[in-house]
C-alpha cells in the first residue's frame, strides 16, 4: 500500500529518525518487506514433514547464486542434528588403509572453491503427464546453486589407497535414513568433493552440516548429506535409492537406472505464475535460468508466441560448467496474450527437448529427469498460468 506522505517532494518517514544501530542483528536477515521470499512446500506432496521436500523461490531471485536460507530442502528422515566435534568420516572397503577423518582432519587437505547446481532428479516430476503446479517455484524449484568449499574426494581416497580392483564408491549419510548411493570410482576421482562450506559459511543443517558430498552435474540424491562413511567396492550396491527409486519405468516394462546426469534444462522465472506482469504494455524484461550436468550452457532461445519465432536470449554473469546460468530477453509487450518458452543448449551438443519428445522416448510412467520445455501463458491482464501446447 503506497503512503503518499513518503513520496517526493515530501520527506519520507525513514528520513526523519535515526535507524537501528550496528549489532541490531548480529546475524543479518533480509528486509521485513521481503518476508514473502521463502521456501514453500506443496501440502498434498508431503506425506510427513520428515520425508519431504520444499522448493526454492526461483521467481524471487536473480543472478546464479542461491542464498543459503532459500536452498530447497529434501530429506528422507529429517535434518540430522550432527555435532561437528563428533563428526567422523570413515573410508573403508577396498582400500589399503581404512581411515577415519575428523572435520579438522578434512581441513588439512588442499581446499577448492567451486560453484555447482544441485538438482533433485524428481524436479518437475509432477509435470510429466501435463501442466500441474502453478509457479516455477513448484515446477522447477528443486534446484539450487552455491559456491562449495571442500576437499576433492580424490585426495581422501588417495590417502586411504584405493585397491586395483576397486570400481565403485558408496557414500552413506549419518541421518536415520542412512542415505546411500553407488557412484562409479571414475566420477569419485574426477570432480566429487567433500564440502563443509556453502557461499563462504558453514553448510546449513538442512544442507548436511557439517559435511556433504558434492557430485557435480549428477542427481541431487547422490549428494549425500551428513556424510559419515564412504565404502569402496568392485560392484554397485543396488541400494533402495537406485533400484526402487530414481529409476524410470519405460512403456516396455523395463526400467532405466543409473541415470546420473541431469540433462540440459531451462525455465523462465519471470514472468511466471507467481510473478505476473504488473506493468502495462511496453518495455519488459524476461528472465530465467538454464543449466546442464554435461557442462556449460552455450545458448538459450526464447519464444513469446508458443514456438513460431525464437530469439536468442542474453546470458549474463559467469558461465561455469555444471552451474546455473542466468539469461535475459528484453522486449516490448504489446499487451496481447503470450506463450513463453525457453530452450537451452550445452557445450556437449545437447538441446533441451520438448515434453512430447520426452514422452515419445520414455512413455508416461516417468517421474525423474523431466527436462522438457516449460510453457507459461501470459494473459492480457498480465497474469500467468502453467500450460502445455502441442
Tell me which residues touch ligand MTE (CB under 6 A). 71-76, 118, 120, 144, 173, 175, 177, 179, 206-207, 220-221, 223-226
**Under a CB-based contact definition with an 8 Å cutoff, are residues 236 and 242 in contact?**
yes
Residue whose beta carbon is closest to Co ion: 120
Eight-state DSSP code of residue 9: T
Selected binder of Co ion within 208, 220, 271, 372 (CB under 5 A): 220
Q: Which stretch binds Co ion (CB under 5 A): 68-76, 77-85, 199-207, 274-282?
A: 68-76
Question: Residue 59 CB, nearest distance to ligand MTE (Å)?
Answer: 18
Question: Which one, 123 or 272, has the nearer CB to ligand MTE?
Answer: 123
Residue 101 has which C-alpha cell? 577423518
Q: Which of 201, 172, 184, 304 is nearest to 235 (CA)?
A: 184
Indicate whether 74 belongs to the interface with Co ion (CB under 5 A): yes
Largest CA distance in the chain: 77
Binder of residue 228, out of ligand MTE, Co ion, none (CB less than 5 to 8 A by kind): none
Gap between the Cα atoms of 219 and 120, Å rounded? 6
Minimum CB–partner distance for residue 80 and Co ion (Å): 16
Closest separation in Å from C-beta 241 to Co ion: 9
Nearer to Co ion, 143 or 193 (CB): 143
Nearer to Co ion, 119 or 231 (CB): 119
To ligand MTE, the closest distance from the beta carbon of 222 in angstroms equals 7
Kindly state the smallest distance separating residue 124's Cβ from ligand MTE, in Å.
13
> Considering only CA atoms, which of 39, 44, 247 is closest in space to residue 132?
44
C-alpha cell at 199: 557461499
- Rounded to a whole number of angstroms, the minimum distance from the CB of residue 203 to ligand MTE is 8
70 vs 151, beta carbon nearer ligand MTE: 70
Query: Which residue is listed with cell 541415470?
Result: 259
Nearer to ligand MTE, 221 or 370 (CB): 221
Return the bridge partners of 316, or none.
326
The residue whose Cβ lies closest to ligand MTE is 173
Cis ω for the linkage preceding 9 (within 30 of 0): yes
Residue 159 near residue 307 (C-beta atoms within 8 A): no
Helix (H) or strand (E) holding 355: helix 355-362
Tell me whether residue 226 or residue 376 sits nearer to ligand MTE (CB atom): 226
User: How many Cβ atoms sit within 10 Å of the Cβ of residue 208?
Assistant: 27
Pick what 72 binds: ligand MTE, Co ion, none; C-beta below 5 to 8 Å, kind-dependent.
ligand MTE
> Rounded to the nearest whole angstrom, what is the least distance from the CB of residue 199 to ligand MTE in the complex?
13
Among 221, 247, 294, 370, binds Co ion (CB under 5 A): 221
- Could you tell which of Co ion, ligand MTE, none binds residue 327, using a CB distance below 5 to 8 A set by kind? none
SS3 per residue for 282-313: EEEEEEEEEECCCCCEEEEEEECECCCCCEEC
Please list every residue from 174 through 203 that binds Co ion, using CB under 5 A.
none
Q: Which residues pair with 283 in a beta bridge?
A: 332
Q: How far is CA 247 from the centre of its chain?
A: 19
Task: Give the shortest CB-74-to-Co ion separation in angstroms.
Answer: 5
Question: Is there binding between residue 125 and Co ion (CB under 5 A)?
Answer: no
Residue 215 has a CB neighbour count (10 Å cut-off) of 27
Q: Which of residues 91-120 bind Co ion (CB under 5 A)?
A: 120
Q: Are 277 and 333 in contact (CB under 8 A)?
A: yes
114 binds, among Co ion, ligand MTE, none (CB under 5 to 8 A by kind): none
Nearest to 210 by CA among 192, 224, 197: 197
Least CB distance to ligand MTE at residue 241 (A) = 8
Cis peptide before 271 (omega within 30 of 0): yes
Interaction partner, residue 346 (Co ion, ligand MTE, none; CB < 5-8 Å by kind)? none
| Residues near Co ion (CB under 5 A) | 74, 120, 220-221
Amino acid at each position: 500500500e503506497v503512503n503518499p506522505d513518503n513520496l517526493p517532494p515530501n520527506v519520507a518517514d525513514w528520513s526523519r529518525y535515526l535507524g537501528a544501530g550496528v549489532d541490531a542483528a548480529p546475524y543479518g536477515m533480509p528486509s521485513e518487506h521481503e518476508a514473502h521470499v521463502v521456501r514453500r512446500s506443496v501440502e498434498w506432496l508431503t506425506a510427513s514433514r520428515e520425508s519431504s521436500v520444499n522448493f526454492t523461490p526461483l521467481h524471487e531471485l536473480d543472478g546464479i547464486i542461491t542464498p543459503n536460507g532459500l536452498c530447497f530442502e529434501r530429506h528422507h528422515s529429517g535434518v540430522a542434528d550432527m555435532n561437528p566435534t563428533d563428526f567422523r568420516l570413515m573410508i573403508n572397503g577396498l582400500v589399503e588403509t581404512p581411515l577415519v577423518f575428523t572435520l579438522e582432519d578434512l581441513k588439512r587437505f588442499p581446499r577448492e572453491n567451486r560453484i555447482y547446481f544441485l538438482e533433485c532428479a524428481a524436479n518437475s516430476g509432477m509435470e510429466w503427464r501435463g501442466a500441474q503446479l502453478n509457479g516455477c517455484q513448484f515446477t522447477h524449484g528443486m534446484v539450487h546453486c552455491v559456491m562449495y568449499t571442500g576437499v576433492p574426494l580424490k585426495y581422501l581416497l588417495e590417502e586411504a589407497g584405493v585397491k586395483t580392483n576397486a570400481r565403485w564408491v558408496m557414500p552413506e549419510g549419518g541421518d536415520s535414513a542412512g542415505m546411500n548411493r553407488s557412484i562409479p570410482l571414475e566420477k569419485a576421482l574426477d570432480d566429487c568433493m567433500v564440502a563443509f562450506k556453502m557461499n563462504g559459511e558453514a553448510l546449513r543443517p538442512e544442507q548436511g552440516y557439517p559435511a556433504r558430498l558434492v557430485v557435480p552435474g549428477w542427481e541431487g540424491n547422490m549428494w549425500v548429506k551428513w556424510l559419515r562413511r564412504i565404502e569402496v567396492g568392485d560392484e554397485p550396491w543396488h541400494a533402495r535409492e537406485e533400484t526402487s527409486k530414481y529409476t524410470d519405468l519405460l512403456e516396455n516394462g523395463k526400467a532405466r537406472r543409473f541415470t546420473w546426469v541431469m540433462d540440459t534444462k531451462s525455465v523462465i522465472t519471470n514472468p511466471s505464475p507467481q510473478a505476473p506482469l504488473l506493468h502495462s504494455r511496453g518495455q519488459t524484461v524476461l528472465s530465467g535460468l538454464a543449466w546442464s550436468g554435461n557442462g556449460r550452457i552455450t545458448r538459450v532461445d526464447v519464444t513469446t508466441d508458443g514456438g513460431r519465432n525464437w530469439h536468442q536470449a542474453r546470458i549474463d554473469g559467469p558461465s561455469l560448467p555444471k552451474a546455473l546460468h542466468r539469461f535475459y530477453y528484453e522486449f516490448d509487450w504489446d499487451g496481447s496474450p503470450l506463450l513463453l518458452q525457453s530452450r537451452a543448449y550445452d557445450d556437449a551438443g545437447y538441446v533441451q527437448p520438448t515434453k512430447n519428445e520426452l514422452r515419445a522416448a520414455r512413455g508416461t510412467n516417468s517421474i525423474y529427469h523431466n527436462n522438457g520445455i516449460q510453457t507459461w501463458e501470459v494473459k492480457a491482464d498480465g497474469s500467468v498460468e502453467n500450460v502445455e501446447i502441442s
